[in-house]
């Protein structure tokens, strides 16, 4: 694996994790009795940027390396489901995570201080952020299994 | 001004950079460095959870939670969150290092012990969020009350919640620690998970029995 691909993989993991952390800050900020809208807005922006950049770096790694050098190894290995089930699910879920986090950001920016009065809207945005958080965690755990499957010996 | 226990960001960043420099200069393996971070994260988490329980019980003994006591609890809560952060970063970095071929020591992802530990970490994370969302604002309200505020109706109405989340936190932290160090544990996933769930439920029941005893009107 070239240095650029290694860098992209590291970036993909770290930014994905940052996205999860920032999204959890959005959830916590919105669920407060008196919502911390400004903090949630900043965290939503950081979360969106993290997911978007993780998306780009992960996509680059997937297209340039994973499909050619890793996928077939996993499929021929002792845990082929790591690709056929987890990776297939991961790549589809991951496609819409940046867009879902963009929706949270746009909603927070456009509604702003109104959210302090509009409890229903605030809770709906918090719910969307919570769904993003859970999906992000699922994708991250799938990544752990896929990474480990890539290092496993090929099935004889 | 709000107290910020993490004040000194520049100094902390300089220390972190110095650590990276030492690792680079003395050729410390990434794996060893990550083990170091993982141990520090666990120490902060387990230590923080233990200290917050001790602080809580001390306040309960005096039947009073002061503003200072609450501030201490917040500082400890920050320490625990830092531990969670370090554990998450180093935990994921372990797999990254393995994937990049910088270490061949990890093939954990298919071990039942590992997945029970991950469930424990998720429980810690979710419980921590609930505590931050629900416990802290309630404790802030209670700390504003003068006198024996831990005998007040506000506290009594919320006590079951505090004891339950506290029990989940402490058992999960120690459970995760045990699962992390017990490398020769050879049980199936369902059995390991059942034991973990049983211990957490047992702790919740015991904590609430203790609550009833401690909050019995004298």
What pLDDT shows up at residue A68? 79
Lowest-confidence region among B58-62, B107-111, B148-152, B191-195: B107-111
The confidence score (pLDDT) of residue A155 equals: 44
A27 interfacial to chain B (CB closer than 8 Å): yes
- Choose among A24, A143, A152: nearest Cβ to B129: A24
| Nearest Cα to Cα of residue B101 among A78, A79, A84, A3 | A3
**Tokens at B59, concatenated:** 């306040």
Instruction: Please give the average per-residue pLDDT across B176-192, as a whole number.
Output: 88
Residue B95 to residue A137, Cβ atoms within 8 A: no
DSSP bridge pairs for A77? A154
Phi, psi of B85 (to 5 degrees): -60, -50
The answer to whether A146 and B98 have CB atoms below 8 angstroms apart is no
- pLDDT of B3 above 50: no
* Chain B residues inside the 8 Å CB shell of A140: 92
**pLDDT above 60: residue B35:** yes
Residue A156 has what pLDDT? 40
**Alpha carbon of B206: minimum distance to chain A alpha carbons (Å):** 29
Q: Of A106-110, B36-40, B137-141, which gets the smallest average pLDDT?
A: B137-141
Q: Which of A3, A151, A155 to probe by mutation at the B interface, max B CB count within 10 Å?
A: A151
Q: What percent of chain B has pLDDT over 90?
A: 31
Please identify which residue in the block is written with the tokens 């859970």.
A134
Backbone angles phi, psi at B26, to 5 degrees: -95, 10
pTM, two decimals, is 0.80
Long-range contacts of A110-114 (CB under 8 A, 24+ apart): A112/A37, A112/A41, A113/A37
Cβ–Cβ below 8 Å for A13 and B96:
yes
CB-CB under 8 Å, B110 with A151 = no
3-class DSSP state of A154: strand
Q: What is the pLDDT of residues A22-72, one digit of tens each?
A: 999 999 888 887 888 899 999 999 999 999 999 999 999 888 888 877 888
**A20, A146, A132: which is closest to A87 by C-alpha?**
A146
pLDDT in tens, B136-162: 888 888 888 877 777 788 888 888 999
Picking from A151, A16, A142, A156, the residue whose alpha carbon sits closest to that of residue A81 is A142
**Can you give the pLDDT at residue B10?**
66
Report for A18-32, A79-93, B103-117: range of highest mean pLDDT:
A18-32
Which residue out of A144, A145, A152, A153 would a mutagenesis test of the B interface target, given it has the greatest number of B Cβ atoms within 10 Å? A144
The answer to whether B77 and B132 have CB atoms below 8 angstroms apart is yes
B88 → closest Cβ in A17, A28, A152: A17
**Out of B98, B104, B118, closest to residue A147 by CB:** B98
Is the pLDDT score of B27 beyond 70? no
Residue-level pLDDT at B23:
66
């Amino acid at each position: 694996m070239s240095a650029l691909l290694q860098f992209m993989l590291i970036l993909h993991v770290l930014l994905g994790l940052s996205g999860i952390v920032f999204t959890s800050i959005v959830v916590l900020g919105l669920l407060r009795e008196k919502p911390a809208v400004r903090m949630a807005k900043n965290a939503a922006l950081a979360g969106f940027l993290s997911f978007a950049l993780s998306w780009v770096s992960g996509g680059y790694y997937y297209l340039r390396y994973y499909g050619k050098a890793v996928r077939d190894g996993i499929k021929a290995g002792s845990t082929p489901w790591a690709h056929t089930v987890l990776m297939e699910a991961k790549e589809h879920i991951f496609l819409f995570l940046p867009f879902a986090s963009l929706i949270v950001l746009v909603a927070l920016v456009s509604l702003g201080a109104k959210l302090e009065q509009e409890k229903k809207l605030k809770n709906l945005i918090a719910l969307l952020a919570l769904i993003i958080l859970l999906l992000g965690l699922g994708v991250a755990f799938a990544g752990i299994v896929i990474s480990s499957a890539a290092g496993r010996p090929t099935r004889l | 001004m709000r107290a910020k226990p993490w004040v000194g960001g520049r100094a902390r960043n300089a220390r972190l950079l110095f650590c990276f420099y030492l690792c680079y200069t003395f050729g410390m393996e990434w794996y060893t460095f990550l083990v170091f971070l993982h141990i520090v994260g666990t120490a902060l988490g387990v230590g923080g959870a233990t200290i917050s329980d001790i602080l809580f019980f001390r306040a309960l003994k005096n039947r009073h939670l002061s503003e200072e006591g609450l501030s201490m609890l917040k500082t400890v809560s920050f320490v625990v969150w830092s531990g969670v952060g370090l554990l998450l970063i180093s935990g994921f970095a372990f797999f990254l290092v393995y994937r990049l071929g910088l270490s061949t020591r990890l093939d954990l992802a298919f071990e039942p012990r590992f997945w029970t530990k991950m469930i424990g970490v998720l429980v810690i994370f979710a419980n921590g969020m609930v505590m931050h969302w629900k416990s802290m604002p309630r404790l802030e309200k209670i700390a504003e009350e003068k006198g024996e505020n831990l005998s007040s109706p506000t506290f009594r109405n919320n006590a079951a919640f505090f004891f339950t989340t506290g029990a989940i936190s402490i058992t999960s932290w120690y459970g995760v620690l045990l699962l992390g160090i017990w490398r020769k544990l050879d049980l199936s996933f369902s059995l390991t998970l059942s034991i973990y769930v049983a211990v957490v439920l047992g702790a919740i029941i015991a904590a609430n029995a203790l609550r009833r005893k401690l909050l019995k009107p004298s």
